[in-house]
Chain A
Amino acid sequence: MTRRIRTALSSVPLLLLGGCSNWQSALDARGASAISLKHLIVLIVAVCSVIWALVMIAMIHALWRRREAWRAPLDLRAPRERRIGWIVSICVGLTAVIIAGFTVASFFTTRNISVAGQDDLTIRIGGLQWWWSVEYLGPDPARGFVSANEIHIPTGRNVRLLLQGDDVIHSFWVPSLAGKQDLIPGRINEITIRADRPGTYRGQCAEFCGLQHAHMGFLVTADTPEEFAKWAEAQRATAASTTDDEEIAAGRDTFMRKPCAGCHSIRGTQATGTSGPDLTHVGSRAFIAAGLLPTSRGALAAWISDPQTLKPGNNMPLVPLSPDELRAVSAYLASLK
């Protein structure tokens, strides 16, 4: 029994450590600004832990110390008073020095992370209830394209993100790559991210923005520059307008006839709505509905058939579709790679 308890107790720190390496963790820093933030976190936590331990030791010592009986409480003993005075002054001085040190450290960290070069890769991120619009702006406007809930970036390069809230205040947070930055309606905030190694990092809205705030996630995928160029070329393409598959053709037809096309865009078709996420390459993204479900034909069908049960309060209405129409539309969307 004791052994079992001991095993259980020793597994707790292991489990806690496991939380440090994740695709969404400020302690698993993979980008320049996240690394300098992590250094700041470690510094402050370490110094504060030492101070806390010293204070605890002093307090426990004071509680346990045997005290000699003191006959005359009003009789001050000068040497003792002087000693106490010294100790208190030193502690106050140390506090001032440590806090000033923290201030300087955080000043330098902040200066490090807000470096924004005039890089050619600029992405406009729009925060909406409850998803992210992602617009790649390039030096050549004709080569820009729109996506949603998934950001791809090349490794080893600063990427400038222009953040704007399109309805309420949201906050852009990819803990492994950078700190938080708010998206505010009516103004554009900037943040620069940089990933040094390829990988997939999860981000999350970090400012309470309504009912489905918790389901407002996104992915940042860092690819090698060649992979990124290939991906961008694929995203720039419009959706195929012809297909041999009868079901997919029927699905496209249904999508255009039904209210779907009133809110969503699929480039290369008549669907040009802008209130919902762009679906031109929805089948190529890892998740649908802002990180709610992994993309698959079944998940797409489940989402379309009852969005208000999967993500109550979101702005996608339940569009009545017959089972055949639902099958066709989900096949069509899954085919949009």
Chain B
Amino acid sequence: MRIVVSLVCIVTLCGCQREERQLRLDPPTAAALDGIALMPNKIGGAPPQIYFALDRPYETNAYNLSQGKRLYTWFGCKGCHGDGQGGIGPSFLDGWWYYGPETVSIFASIRDGRPHGMPAFRDKMTSEQIWQLAGYVQTIGAYSAKTAAPSRNDDKQTRPAENRAPAAILFNEGPTPVHPDQGPQP
């Protein structure tokens, strides 16, 4: 009986362990995070080593995802991409990534801009903010569900929650591709 009680206590205490929030990124770490290696065609590539050393914080940490969601509104992403459904700019929800589904490509798209209207945010955001935003955008159109979720919407829900792998749902919808030009990866 005593063992059961102490086990329950230990398990309860484990519940107190909550997600770590890294509020302050050391400047050298932030600078290193900027060093991504892109393929020559600017599609796909590898994040810097430090990204893995930090355990992919911008894809798996709920605080970073929430900050990314905040930045999505702050920097006017909604103006072109809507709530993820797209508009003037491409949709994220359909799981169709013009420049590949890796977070590092999304980071490059935000930082350096892309042809046909995507502006570069290099001088408007710090690289930490760009990573947070990229992680959030990746989550909107991710193929697999995540346990970490950004904060909820205050206004009406217009699409499934970001962390529920909406892209996979849309892919499985039926024989008609959701995206008109959907085909093999570019």
**When the two chains form the complex, which single residue of A257, A306, A317 contacts B126, counting CB atoms closer than 8 Å?**
A317
Q: Given A257, A262, A320, which contacts B27 in the complex, CB threshold below 8 Å?
A: A320
Partner of B123 from the list A258, A309, A315, A320 (CB cut-off 8 Å) is A258
- Which residues of B are found within 8 Å of A312, using beta-carbon distances? 23-24
Say yes or no: A313 contacts B124, CB within 8 Å: no
Distance between A307 CB and nearest chain B CB, rounded to angstroms: 9
Chain B 78-100 interface 0/1 with A at a Cβ cutoff of 8 Å (1 = within)? 00000000000000000000000
Asked if A144 CB lies within 8 Å of chain B CBs, one says no
Which among A275, A306, A317 is the interface contact of B128 at CB below 8 angstroms? A317
Q: What size tier do the contact residues of chain B reach?
A: 10 to 19
Q: How long is the Cα–Cα vector from A257 to B126 in the complex, in angstroms? A: 12
Q: Are B25 and A259 in contact (CB under 8 A)?
A: no
Query: A156 at the A/B interface (Cβ < 8 Å)?
Result: no
Return the contact of B23 from the options A263, A313, A319 (Cβ within 8 A). Answer: A313
Complex contact B124–A259 (CB within 8 A): yes
Considering only residues 230-285 of chain A, those with a C-beta below 8 Å from chain B are: 257-259, 261-263, 275
Interface residue ranges of B18-47 to A (CB < 8 Å): 21, 23-25, 27, 30-31
**Distance in Å: Cβ of B40 to nearest Cβ of chain A:** 28
B124 partner residues in chain A, CB cutoff 8 A: 259, 261-262
A184 CB to nearest B CB, Å: 11
Q: Is A318 located at the chain interface by the 8 A CB criterion?
A: yes
Q: Provide the bound-state CA to CA distance between A257 and B23, in Å.
A: 25
List of A residues within 8 angstroms of B121 by Cβ = 262
Among residues of A, the one whose C-beta sits closest to the C-beta of B31 is A320
How would you classify the secondary structure of chain A's contact residues: helix, strand, loop or mixed? loop
Quote the shortest CB–CB distance from B38 to chain A (angstroms).
21
A186 interface hit (Cβ, 8 Å): yes
**A309-B24, A312-B24 known; A259 and B125 CB under 8 Å?**
yes
Residue of A at shortest CB range from B155? A186
Look across to chain B and name the residue whose beta carbon is closest to the beta carbon of A309: B24
A198 an interface residue at 8 Å Cβ cutoff? no
- A308 at interface, CB cutoff 8 A: yes
Contact A275 B74 (CB under 8 A): yes
Restricting to B55-103, which residues have a CB under 8 Å from any CB of A? 67, 70, 74-75
Contact A315 B24 (CB under 8 A): no
Q: Please report which residues of chain A, range 277-332, place their CB below 8 angstroms from some CB of chain B when the two chains form the complex.
A: 306, 308-309, 312-313, 315, 317-320
B24 engages A320 (CB within 8 Å): no
B154 within 8 A of A: yes
Within 8 A of A (CB), among B105-161: 121, 123-126, 128-129, 154
A259 touches B126 (CB 8 A): yes
Taking A318-B25, A320-B27 as contacts, is the C-beta distance between A186 and B126 under 8 angstroms? no
Q: Which residue of A lies closest to B26 (CB)?
A: A318
Q: Shortest CB–CB separation between residue A143 and chain B, in angstroms?
A: 28
A-B contact pairs, 17 of them (CB 8 A): A186-B154, A259-B124, A259-B129, A262-B121, A262-B123, A262-B124, A306-B24, A312-B23, A315-B70, A317-B126, A317-B128, A317-B129, A318-B24, A318-B25, A318-B27, A319-B126, A320-B30
Binding site for B on A (CB under 8 A): 185-186, 257-259, 261-263, 275, 306, 308-309, 312-313, 315, 317-320
